Copies of this chain bind each other. A is one copy, B any other.
Amino acid sequence: MRDGALWISGGGPDSDIVVSSRVRLARNLVGMPFPNRSDASQLQQAREKVIQAAKSTPSIGPLEILLLEDMSEMDRRIAVEEHLTSPQHVSEPKGRALILNRDNSLCVMVNEEDHLRIQAILPGFQLEQALRLAWAADDAIEETLDYAFDSELGYLSACPTNVGTGMRASVMLHLPALVITNSVGQVLGAASKVGVATRGIYGEGTEAVGNLFQVSNQVTMGRAEEEIIAHLGAIVRQIIDSERSARRALLDDARPQIEDRLYRSFGILTNARMMPSEEALKLMSDVKLGADMGILPNVPDDLLTRLSVDTMPAHVQRALGRELSVWERDIARAGIIRERFEKANKASRGSNSAPDKEE
């Protein structure tokens, strides 16, 4: 967990719109009650089985095994902010574990809602690759572990909505132009009519802070995983096309206004001395849009995804090495943001001046 999850480094296919792709498989141990029906010793027992299985998976590389109760409160929150686990999972750490591969592209939540939640997250639009990665872990673990499986229903899970493949695939999309042009509701509404669930990220209810939306499959039964992912991928492709059209329309119809908005956000983000979390996400969304549209120069690809995670509360507190009040956090967050942009700016000036020296 030390280096941050792979998806945070940004990049990947269609990374101007797709932040990350995730595939999560729900699995349970045969002959054991689901975690929410288990007592402490049953949780311990299930966790021990999973850990033992994870220790003999050479095909997917060395894994880091973290018992949640041994992690600091801050590290657990860090893991949630990096989407390596869920708020629900860390809310009762006892008897739970988190298993990670070296670059944190793969994680197994032990005793979350199910005994195992095997999750692969990759940067950009890489659903098939994420499925293959999750499957590799699934296969490796299954070599020493028996899953609860019904020949009719498929994989059994604590929640009926996961029964069957047990697979939830999702894509995190940055859709600022659809929001600005007031068409995000229509585009995502159309997607939800063809078996795709959509929701805003980080926000309460339906509001998407930072113009981030998660799109995932609704159906987990009756169709093969590849088929579900191909369907989801096709719909995501349509949403990507809609967002690209909206961006072109903004440039064609309202270039001065959109440039003004994006540059103002850049100016505030790189100058403010106090920066609340929600405002940071809003401004970073604008700056990412500006960078991805070629309006704002010298903003590196990976800066904003990383920064959007590094400015979340637990990350800010880790950077400063202590618990902070909301007020102190807003000051620290503004400092972290400025520092990153200054560093990026220096680096780009450095690379610009390099050819001069060679002349």
Interface residues of A (CB under 8 A from B): 256-257, 259-260, 263-264, 266-274, 327, 331, 334
Kindly state the separation between the CA atoms of A327 and B255 in the bound complex, as whole angstroms: 13
Copies of this protein in the assembly total 2
- Identify the closest chain B residue to A270 (Cβ): B267
> Given A256-B331, A331-B256, are A267 and B271 also a contact pair (CB < 8 Å)?
yes
Secondary structure at chain A's binding surface: helix, strand, loop or mixed?
helix
Contact residues in B for A264 (Cβ distance below 8 Å): 267-268, 271-272
Contact at A267–B256, with CB atoms within 8 Å? no
Kindly state the separation between the CA atoms of A259 and B269 in the bound complex, as whole angstroms: 14
- Identify the closest chain B residue to A265 (Cβ): B271
- Identify the closest chain B residue to A271 (Cβ): B267
15 residue pairs of the A-B complex, CB under 8 angstroms, read A256-B331, A257-B274, A259-B273, A260-B272, A260-B274, A260-B334, A263-B272, A263-B273, A264-B271, A264-B272, A266-B271, A267-B269, A267-B270, A267-B272, A268-B268
- Identify the closest chain B residue to A255 (Cβ): B273
Kindly state the separation between the CA atoms of A268 and B283 in the bound complex, as whole angstroms: 12
Contact at B273–A256, with CB atoms within 8 Å? yes
Q: Which 9 A-B pairs have the closest CB atoms?
A: A267-B271, A267-B267, A260-B273, A260-B274, A263-B271, A259-B273, A267-B268, A264-B272, A264-B268
Kindly state the separation between the CA atoms of A331 and B259 in the bound complex, as whole angstroms: 11
